[in-house]
Structure 1
Amino acid sequence: MKRHAGYGRTVIACVVTVFVAAASLSSCRRSVTPTGEPANGPAKVDIGKKDIGVRYDGKAILDGSITAGGAGFTAKVNVFRTGEAVSQAVLLEPRDKGGRVRLEARIVGGPESFACEADRRDRGPVVVRHVSGESRSGLNRAVYDRGRDWVLSVDAGPRAAVIPVRAEGDRKAYDIVAEGAEIVLRFRPRYYQVHRGLDFFEPWTYRIWPDPVAGWISWFAFRDEVTEEDIVRTADTLAETLLPFGYDLLQIDDGYQSGEGRPDLWLTANDKFPRGLGFLPGYIKSRGLRPGIWTNVAFKQADYAAEHQGWFVTDARGEPARGNWVEFSLDASVPEAVDAVVRPVYRGLRDMGWEYFKVDALRHLRYEGYNAHADHFRKAKRDLAGAFRSYVEAVREEVGRDVFVLGCWGIRPELVGLIDGCRVGTDGFSYAGLAQFNSWNNVVWRNDPDHIELDENRYRSTLVTSLTGAILLLTDKPELYRTEAGEPARRAAPVLWTVPGQVFDVDASRSGELGRVAAEVSGSGPRAFDASL
């Protein structure tokens, strides 16, 4: 990543807490009406004797009044640039010595805007906050507009409150009141993209998945020994036990395929699936569930790679390069390679009826495949990160925007806008990730803290996952859900649709290291920027 302005390094021991307003699901549609890119520049600020107006992106985003003592107030507007990051500060001060100044205004944002905290407080415990519905927390001092990626906030110092008041068509309104010895109103455009360093974050081009994601995954239950009968039995059990509580996804993981690499190996199930891979989506749907499937970007046929050397990343000798976990790496900057190897897999699976796609080993393609052989891209004068992104762009184009795509595993900032969710850490449920990437959830994508086993030590994970609005996938043997051991999953329902209460990460120790993504050459374990357990 190229931009790193604003990353904090302080590690905070935090209690994961959730402030929940009325539980309502997002009604956002997946389609986005093109509106063009917002400017990475300051807003237009007009200040009169008693009033203030702020316009940005061709719209009024704040209108209000300013009051002070008999002598009035002074206003100073400054624009600061750190690299590409723009921060515009409006300083309001009373002319009377020892006086106070008061701002009463209305902020107007788009349909994806929400009240929040924009800056870390220097006093009191900092807790992770997520909100279902509109937030009326007294901690809010800002409004973030996701659709246009700007934040308007009041700096620490004066008393301040931001209260949602109403929605007007596709616009949402908030009343803001601030009073103190001085008031600093701060506007930051391209907040996540530039200030937070997410180069590919263009929220005006895509919407967050509008519904909760809850269900079951086969991995911990059956590993790669999973059979057709296991999936049929699980579908029957889920339909009777957990579907009434909103657990409607059944995702088959590793173990069904004939091999990893050529399209025919992915599209032809092994002998454990006698009725073929195409049988399962229909059966799963017949039980009222959504069928999901695991895939992997590894390529393991050496003869095929040798016959199509121009389609694969090569080593210093000009031969197809090998990497741990991924074996041979398809060069997705070559359209013919993508057309022959990637597109047929996902087109075929979508045609079968699969509706949820987990794409695994992406970190290994990037690190062991691409980064470790960066000279391949330099010599060919191809963009390495662009090639990596092209792989997943092809996946998205083939499956469409109406199905969920999960990137796995570890933080994948270069895939922002292409994947609907991201497994933020390694295998095993991550409590820490809920604080390390809290501000990403349902802003950048849906966080996946990994699947949950309902054993004595982990069943509490269902509650915190539900309240934070993250992906909630169970992974037990299905018979367990007919017993009392399945009760925590039922009590955690429904999984909420939330937005973060903060647009910063409570524990920034991981997201503050995103600049290292471009220099990693091994993904064999969690890296400094991946969520910890």
Structure 2
Amino acid sequence: MKLKQQHRPITTEPPCVQANHVLDEKTNQLKYEYNGFTIISIQLPPGGKEYYRRISDGNIQSNPFIQQLYLALDEPHTVRVRFELSGDALNMRPRRAGEGEAILGQCGRPTLYGANGLYDVMQDLLIDWHGAEWRWACDRIHKTEAGNSFAEIDVEVGLTPWIINLRMQYYRKHLNYAYHKPWERRPDLKPVAGWCSWEAYRSDIREEHVMDAARFVSEHFKAYGLEYMQLDDGYQLPLVPPEASGSVADAWLTTNEKFPSGHAGLVSGIKAHGLKPGIWTNAVVTNPDFASSGTACVKGEDGNPIKGKWIQYVLDCTPETLAEHVAPYYKGLKDAGYTYFKTDAIRHLIYDGLHEAVKAGVMTGDEAEAKFRDFLECAREQIGEEAYLLSCWGVLSEAVGLADACRVATDANPSWPAIRMQLVETARWFHTHRILFMNDPDHVCVRAPQEWAQSAISLVSLTGGLLMISDKPEHYDDERIKMVQRNLPPLHTVTAETGPLDMNMPAFAWTHIKGYAVELHKADPKEQEATSGQAAEQAEAASHPFSTLWAIHMQTEDRSWCVAGRFATEALQAASVETAKLGLAPDREYVVFDFWEQQYLGRYTDSIPCRELEVGSCQLLAVRPVNGRPMLIASSRHVSMDLVSVQSEQWQQGQGQLTLKLEGVAGTSEHYWIYVPDNFAFSSESALGAEVRVTPEGETVRLEVHFEREESEVTLAFTDERAV
């Protein structure tokens, strides 16, 4: 019997059923088929005897469903295993980072050392394997002619069973994100960067402030990848709705006296600077007469409207109420020209509003959840699929499938507790990133002490989070302007690890005692004047506790490298980081470059020495495997070093030439560092569309590229001294 390969699923919703097995005697392949795909093909060795699990054997059954497979051989043998999944599949470590391990992310579809899992995004299927030595057969996930994803591994199989686990509907059922149905809708996963008015001006925002900021942002950041100008709280009428007999929409569609040009003036003014307009909305109702006299708000058994913290009065979210009071303002704001919508206080709508009604006995928990979904579905329907929807604030599983982004933390500001919150919550929720939605750690306040701001914006950019800055134009000095530019645009990073949410630490939210939650590890840097010796005492060597160590793996058609990030949510002493803990093979040699120090550090194999970091600071290291010829290792343009300005890197072996195709901002200069092996010597350079100056620096040469136009090409010639 031979399975016929299907190149599309048999069922639209991937079923929670077993994968069928078949042993193809002609090819000596053991295959497992699931929902139209031969998801696993194992090439068995000739002769000998194999032991494998048939579809319904074994007593490891569970709810949610897990199917466990295994393979054993009577004689040890290296076995090639091929996995074939849908067109969107990822290498995924099937657990979260442990003590001293980097949190793993990826740009492209690389295969990572030690990451023993594959995740089929469109089928919500996780495959992980255990119990035998293994290695990737290739450095990336490939595509078949039919558009499916495939990857291969070589496994050392013997009498001890090698185990494979299949977890169908993994995020939906195993992690309990019940509304995750990627086969029906995927969020908009594009990188997003913009300016938000809230922490810059709060409710004191005026029309002229928005226009001044739009002018400044357009001049300094637009060319680097910032797109949105988002107006936050402060434009709407003070009472929602303004009249007891009116519509909630009236408070949002009519601007107050601080915005005399109305939405039309705001939108046209923002667009005139080449930017996209975004708007803040809120689920709040504040007019007590409206809440008491009408039928739109939830009332208790005594007939009085229910009131909750932050949300005030609670819309009952019936179809009639949504059609009269919610749909009109989302449609009106969309028609006004806004393309980005930040919908606020929705956690208060459900937790402090609808759940109060549950406590009062006027609705069930299921009814409250359904009403909450109805509110967001109404918003989504009115703004359309082409608009961007941010669910704010708090990660709500009820928002999955409707929101494009979800804010993972409470309000940020320039203080260290707020910035630390952004760093820690980005780490805590990273398993959801670009799977369920894009993570938003809230806006970055660049006016904070520079080391803190640098840490926050670097992590958001590298992880590809929603990157919003929120400062007055006068707060952006030359150093901070350059800092923002080096982090634009944010990357298209996807999580490369998954597993249950870590609940072993306090969430960083407001408390009624100190403002923010208690300290996670160490005191506020302003209150802490630790010497180097004290810092060493406060952190164990190379421990890198949770949230401090990241490894974002970059891959293009012609390059693969890693950016290792160390973020001092607590003081980090000088330490060596094992390359294996970064998802890198420990038996290879790597060249390492420190981005913020703009310094080449040397060549290393199984570990990389790292400098001491004070609380709030960070270190970014480009780590690229040595390949025996001159190669790019870093640039000054972007913290990714460089997934942004380098369009291609080509080595012509016979001519000894390295050619870089670059995209830059015309009229600006950037530096690029090229590693040169001992047996090569730089001889000459040429450029199209740019002026280039080359400076030898030990094992590297540094290029200063002045962009005469946006696109340029730089060619460097080298002499191979072995051939002389």
- TM category, shorter: 0.7 to 0.9
Give the alignment partner of residue 80 of structure 2, picking from 104, 107, 111: 104
Per-residue CA distance 1:128-179 (angstroms, 9 max, x = gap): 1111112131122221011110012212443243743522343122112222
Instruction: Kindly provide the amino acid, as one letter, of the partner of residue 443 in structure 2.
Output: H
Give the alignment partner of residue 293 of structure 1, picking from 273, 279, 287: 279
Measured in 1, the distance between the counterparts of 2:34 and 2:308 equals 48
Measured in 1, the distance between the counterparts of 2:279 and 2:221 equals 19
Measured in 1, the distance between the counterparts of 2:168 and 2:444 equals 38
Per-residue CA distance 1:492-513 (angstroms, 9 max, x = gap): 12311011111226x6227999
Q: Secondary structure at the match of 1:92?
A: strand
Measured in 1, the distance between the counterparts of 2:365 and 2:441 equals 37
Counterpart of 1:132?
A: 107
Counterpart of 1:239?
A: 218
Counterpart of 1:22?
A: none
Partners of 1:73 and 1:101 within 8 A in 2: no
Measured in 2, the distance between the counterparts of 1:34 and 1:266 equals 46
Residues 34 and 133 (structure 1), Cα distance of their counterparts in 2 relative to 1, 3 Å cut: same
Q: Please, which moves more after superposition, 244-253 or 171-180?
A: 171-180
* TM-score (structure 1 length as normaliser): 0.84
Q: Any stretches of 5+ residues in structure 1 without a counterpart?
A: 1-32, 514-523
Q: Secondary structure at the match of 1:257?
A: coil
Higher RCO (CA-CA < 8 Å; seq separation 6+): 1
Q: Is the aligned partner of 1:475 residue 2:454?
A: no
Instruction: Kindly provide the amino acid, as one letter, of the partner of residue 186 in structure 1.
Output: N
Summarize the alignment of residues 59-70 of structure 1 with structure 2, pairs less than 5 Å apart. 59-67=37-45
Measured in 2, the distance between the counterparts of 1:406 and 1:460 equals 23
1:526 deviates by 7.9
Measured in 2, the distance between the counterparts of 1:198 and 1:152 equals 18
Q: Secondary structure at the match of 1:432?
A: helix
Q: Please, which moves more after superposition, 141-150 or 299-308?
A: 299-308
Residues 274 and 165 (structure 1), Cα distance of their counterparts in 2 relative to 1, 3 Å cut: closer
Q: Is the aligned partner of 1:499 residue 2:483?
A: no
Per-residue CA distance 1:252-287 (angstroms, 9 max, x = gap): 110010133421111111100011122111221121
Instruction: Kindly provide the amino acid, as one letter, of the partner of residue 473 in structure 2.
Output: P
Residues 377 and 102 (structure 1), Cα distance of their counterparts in 2 relative to 1, 3 Å cut: farther
Partners of 2:431 and 2:499 within 8 A in 1: yes
Counterpart of 1:367?
A: 351
Partners of 1:437 and 1:511 within 8 A in 2: no
Q: Please, which moves more after superposition, 490-499 or 155-164?
A: 155-164
Instruction: Kindly provide the amino acid, as one letter, of the partner of residue 493 in structure 2.
Output: T
The share of aligned pairs that are identical, in percent, is 28
Residues 382 and 318 (structure 1), Cα distance of their counterparts in 2 relative to 1, 3 Å cut: farther
Measured in 1, the distance between the counterparts of 2:410 and 2:59 equals 39
Q: Please, which moves more after superposition, 175-184 or 374-383?
A: 374-383
Partners of 1:422 and 1:446 within 8 A in 2: yes
Partners of 1:93 and 1:101 within 8 A in 2: no
Counterpart of 1:119?
A: 95
Counterpart of 2:165?
A: 186
Q: Secondary structure at the match of 2:65?
A: strand
Partners of 1:132 and 1:498 within 8 A in 2: yes
Residues 62 and 503 (structure 1), Cα distance of their counterparts in 2 relative to 1, 3 Å cut: same
Residues 279 and 500 (structure 1), Cα distance of their counterparts in 2 relative to 1, 3 Å cut: same
Residues 222 and 157 (structure 1), Cα distance of their counterparts in 2 relative to 1, 3 Å cut: same
1:76 deviates by 2.1
Counterpart of 1:432?
A: 424
Q: Please, which moves more after superposition, 268-277 or 375-384?
A: 375-384
Counterpart of 2:368?
A: 384
Q: Is the aligned partner of 1:316 residue 2:293?
A: no
Counterpart of 1:220?
A: 199
Give the alignment partner of residue 454 of structure 2, picking from 455, 459, 483: 459
Give the alignment partner of residue 439 of structure 2, picking from 424, 442, 447: 447
1:35 deviates by 6.5
Q: Secondary structure at the match of 1:466?
A: helix
Measured in 1, the distance between the counterparts of 2:499 and 2:187 equals 18
Summarize the alignment of residues 322-361 of structure 1 with structure 2, pairs less than 5 Å apart. 322-332=307-317, 334-361=318-345
- What is the count of residue pairs matched by the alignment? 480
Q: Please, which moves more after superposition, 279-288 or 290-299?
A: 279-288
1:48 deviates by 4.8
Counterpart of 1:486?
A: 481
Report the aligned-residue RMSD: 2.7
1:327 deviates by 0.8
1:107 deviates by 1.4
Counterpart of 1:416?
A: 400
Measured in 1, the distance between the counterparts of 2:72 and 2:176 equals 33
Give the alignment partner of residue 19 of structure 2, picking from 17, 39, 43: 43
Partners of 1:466 and 1:496 within 8 A in 2: yes
* TM-score (structure 2 length as normaliser): 0.63
Measured in 2, the distance between the counterparts of 1:79 and 1:490 equals 56
Q: Secondary structure at the match of 1:346?
A: helix
Instruction: Kindly provide the amino acid, as one letter, of the partner of residue 37 in structure 1.
Output: E
Partners of 1:293 and 1:356 within 8 A in 2: yes
Q: Secondary structure at the match of 2:427?
A: helix
Q: Larger C-alpha radius of gyration, 1 or 2?
A: 2
Residues 185 and 101 (structure 1), Cα distance of their counterparts in 2 relative to 1, 3 Å cut: farther
Measured in 2, the distance between the counterparts of 1:134 and 1:421 equals 22
Instruction: Kindly provide the amino acid, as one letter, of the partner of residue 326 in structure 2.
Output: V
Partners of 1:436 and 1:511 within 8 A in 2: no
Counterpart of 1:57?
A: 35
Instruction: Kindly provide the amino acid, as one letter, of the partner of residue 153 in structure 1.
Output: D
Instruction: Kindly provide the amino acid, as one letter, of the partner of residue 224 in structure 1.
Output: S
Partners of 1:237 and 1:481 within 8 A in 2: no
Per-residue CA distance 1:346-380 (angstroms, 9 max, x = gap): 00000000000001111111111111220567558
Give the alignment partner of residue 254 of structure 2, picking from 268, 285, 292: 268
Counterpart of 1:509?
A: 503
Measured in 1, the distance between the counterparts of 2:468 and 2:58 equals 46
Instruction: Kindly provide the amino acid, as one letter, of the partner of residue 445 in structure 1.
Output: F
Measured in 1, the distance between the counterparts of 2:324 and 2:107 equals 44
Partners of 2:187 and 2:401 within 8 A in 1: no
Instruction: Kindly provide the amino acid, as one letter, of the partner of residue 106 in structure 1.
Output: R
Q: Secondary structure at the match of 1:173?
A: strand
Residues 100 and 157 (structure 1), Cα distance of their counterparts in 2 relative to 1, 3 Å cut: same
Greater fraction of residues in helix: 1
Measured in 2, the distance between the counterparts of 1:511 and 1:388 equals 28
Measured in 1, the distance between the counterparts of 2:10 and 2:251 equals 39
Measured in 2, the distance between the counterparts of 1:120 and 1:102 equals 29
Measured in 2, the distance between the counterparts of 1:214 and 1:464 equals 14
Q: Secondary structure at the match of 2:262?
A: coil
Partners of 1:420 and 1:445 within 8 A in 2: yes
Q: Secondary structure at the match of 1:85?
A: coil
Q: Secondary structure at the match of 1:203?
A: coil
Counterpart of 1:19?
A: none
Residues 347 and 162 (structure 1), Cα distance of their counterparts in 2 relative to 1, 3 Å cut: farther
Measured in 2, the distance between the counterparts of 1:409 and 1:447 equals 11
Per-residue CA distance 1:433-483 (angstroms, 9 max, x = gap): 122111100000000011111122222211111111111110111233463
Measured in 1, the distance between the counterparts of 2:506 and 2:52 equals 34
Partners of 1:132 and 1:496 within 8 A in 2: yes
Partners of 1:120 and 1:504 within 8 A in 2: yes
Q: Secondary structure at the match of 2:431?
A: coil
Partners of 1:66 and 1:102 within 8 A in 2: no
Residues 407 and 357 (structure 1), Cα distance of their counterparts in 2 relative to 1, 3 Å cut: same
Residues 217 and 381 (structure 1), Cα distance of their counterparts in 2 relative to 1, 3 Å cut: closer
Q: Secondary structure at the match of 2:468?
A: strand
Greater fraction of residues in strand: 2
Measured in 2, the distance between the counterparts of 1:338 and 1:377 equals 22
Residues 418 and 121 (structure 1), Cα distance of their counterparts in 2 relative to 1, 3 Å cut: closer
